[in-house]
Amino acid sequence: MSEVPGTLVVCSEKSARFSNSFPLCQHLLGIHGIHTGKSMGWFQRLGDGLSKTRQAVRHALDRVLGHEPDPALIEELEAALLRADLGVHVVDRLLVQVREQVRTKTATAEHLQAVMSRTLYEVLAQSADPSLDELIGQGPKPFVILAVGVNGVGKTTTVAKLGQRLVQAGHKPLLVAADTFRAAAIDQLQVWAERIGVDLIRQRHGADPAAVAFDGIVAAKARAADVVLIDTAGRLHTKSNLMDELRKVKRVIGQALPGAPHEVLLVLDATVGQNALAQARQFHDAVGVTGLALTKLDGTARGGIVVAIADELKLPVRLIGVGEAAEDLQPFNAEAFVAALFGPSPARS
C-alpha cells in the first residue's frame, strides 16, 4: 500500500489482508459491498479488467521519470491516458500535475500515481450521489427504474441482476419486459424472474412497449411491489424515431405514476470507449439520464470513460459489472475504481 499526503490510499488484495493498514484497506474495499474474502474476487476481476490501462500508464510514468524532462515522453504518457478514455479535459489536468511534479525532480512513479488518483477521484466525486440502494430506501413506493441503452450492452442482464440484489436486500421488485422488439429478451427476463422468485409483466412479441410499461406500473401498485425494473429495447442513439419511442415510454410511465420514473439508468458497455460518451449525451438529452451502469469491465475495458462522462455530464455511476454472475454486479465505489485503474503499482525487480 502506498500513501501520499493529500492523496488516495491505494490498496491491493495483499495489503488489505496482510499489511499493518488492514483496517483502512478493509474500510476502502468494504464500501458499497466490496469486501475481503469471497467478494475480494470481484475486486480482483475489476483490477484484472483494467490491468492493461494500469500497466500502460505505469510504464509511461517510469519512462518520464527515468530521463531528463522530455516533451516526447510526456506525449507518450498523454497517449496512454487518452487510450484509457479519460477524456481530453481530464488528461490535460493530469499532465499539468505531472509536469509540476517532474520539475521538482523528487517525484516517484508511486507518488505521481497517487497524485493522479486524487484528481480522478475528485472528478468522480463531483457527480457523487446517494447510492441506488439509498435512493430506493428513501424514495417513493413503488420506486421505478427505467433501464435504457443501445443494443448489446447488457441491459436485460443488468435489470435481472439488480432484481436479484433487491430480493436479497429484502425488497419486493417487479420486472417489466418492455423490450418487445426481441422475443429472446422477454424469455430471458422470464427465466430470471422464475429463478429469483419475482413477478414479471410481459406481453406478446411486438407489443407497444409503452403499454407494457403502463401495465407494469398498474401491477406494481396492485401487488404492493416496492421497486419496478423496466427493461427497454436497445436502440441506436442516432435514430431519432427510436429515441422518440423511448420518450413515449417515459411519458406514459409518468402518467401512470406521477414523478416516475425515479431513476433513468443508462447501461453502457465499458469496452466501446469514447462512443459511450456519445451515447450518454444522446440518451441524456432524450430522456434525462439520472445514473449509469457500466458493464463488461472484466474484459478488455479501458474504463476511463466513466471519468470522462462524470467530467462532462456530471452523471453518477450507480453500478459496475465485472462478470456474468449476479454477484458480479456491484454498486460503484470511486475509491476502489480509481485504485483498480491506476494502482496498486506492480512490484519492481
The answer on pLDDT for 3 being more than 60 is no
Cis peptide bond prior to 344, omega within 30° of 0: yes
Give the CA angle between residues 42, 34, 113 to the nearest 5°.
Answer: 85
| HEC secondary structure over 67-131 | CCCCHHHHHHHHHHHHHCCCCHHHHHHHHHHHHHHHHHCCCCHHHHHHHHHHHHHHHHHHCCCCC
Q: How many CB atoms lie within 10 A of CB 189?
A: 26
Query: What is the per-residue burial (b if ≥16 Cβ within 10 Å, else e) of 132-155?
Result: bbebbeebeebbbbbbbbbeebbb
Cell matching residue 236: 441506436
Q: Which pLDDT tens digit goes with each residue over 250-289?
A: 999 999 999 999 999 999 998 888 888 999 999 999 999 9
Q: How far apart are CA 16 and CA 56, in angstroms?
A: 24
Highest mean pLDDT out of 25-29, 39-43, 100-104: 100-104
- Give CA–CA dist 4/8, Å, rounded: 7
pLDDT value of residue 297: 79
Cell of 231: 427493461
Question: Given pLDDT bands bounded at 50, 70 and 90, which one contains residue 238?
Answer: low
All 3 cell numbers of residue 134? Answer: 439509498
Instruction: Please give the C-alpha separations between residue 340 and each of 43, 117, 152, 218, 285, in angstroms, as whole numbers.
Output: 8, 10, 25, 42, 31
- Kindly tell me if the per-residue pLDDT of 159 is higher than 80: yes
In this prediction, residue 343 has a pLDDT band, given cuts at 50, 70 and 90, of low
| pLDDT digits 0-9 by tens, 202-231 | 999 989 999 999 999 999 999 999 999 999
- Asked whether the predicted pLDDT for residue 190 surpasses 60, the reply is yes
Length of the chain, in residues: 349
The pLDDT value recorded for residue 69 is: 62
Tell me the mean pLDDT in the region 110-115: 82
CA atoms of 248 and 287, how far apart (whole Å):
10
Tell me the three cell numbers of residue 138: 428513501
Nearest to 328 by CA among 129, 158, 172, 152: 158
Q: Over the chain, what is the mean pLDDT?
A: 82
Band (pLDDT 50/70/90 cuts) for residue 40 is low
Distance in angstroms between the alpha carbons of the first and the last residue of the chain: 17
DSSP 68: S
The set of cell numbers assigned to 170 is: 429484502
Q: pLDDT: is 88 or 327 the higher one?
A: 88
Sorted by where each begins, the domain ranges of the chain are 13-128, 132-332
Q: Please state the rounded mean pLDDT for residues 337-341.
A: 85
Measured distance CA(194)–CA(200) in Å, rounded: 9
| Range of 35-39, 55-59, 75-79, 104-108 with top mean pLDDT | 75-79
| Full-model pTM | 0.83
Q: 10 Å Cβ neighbour count for 106?
A: 8
Residue 19 — very low, low, confident or very high, per pLDDT cuts 50/70/90? very low
**Rounded CA gap, 305 and 166, in Å?**
27
Locate 123 and state its grid cell: 472528478
pLDDT range class, residue 34, cuts 50, 70, 90: very low
What are 318's three cell numbers?
450507480
The helix/strand/coil state of 343 is coil
Q: Residue 203, class by beta-carbon neighbours within 10 Å (0-12 exposed, 13-18 middle, 19+ buried)?
A: middle
User: Any idea which architecture 132-332 has in CATH?
Assistant: 3-Layer(aba) Sandwich (3.40)
- The enclosing H or E element of 291 equals strand 291-295
